[in-house]
Amino acid sequence: MISAASRYADSTIATLVKDGQDVAVIVPSAQVSYSFTFIHHTARADSIAYQYYTDPTLWWRIADANPEILWWDDLTPGTVLRIPSI
pLDDT of 59 above 60: yes
Residues 35-84, CATH architecture? Roll (3.10)
Enumerate the domain spans of the chain.
1-31, 35-84
pTM > 0.85: no
Q: Give the pLDDT confidence score for residue 46 in this predicted structure.
A: 54
**C-beta neighbour count of 7 within 10 angstroms:** 11
Residues 11-53 pLDDT 10s: 888 898 988 999 888 888 777 677 888 887 666 545 788 889 9
28-51 burial, b if ≥16 CB within 10 A, otherwise e? Answer: eeeeeeeeeeeeeeebeeeebbee
For 84, phi and psi rounded to 5 degrees?
-70, 145
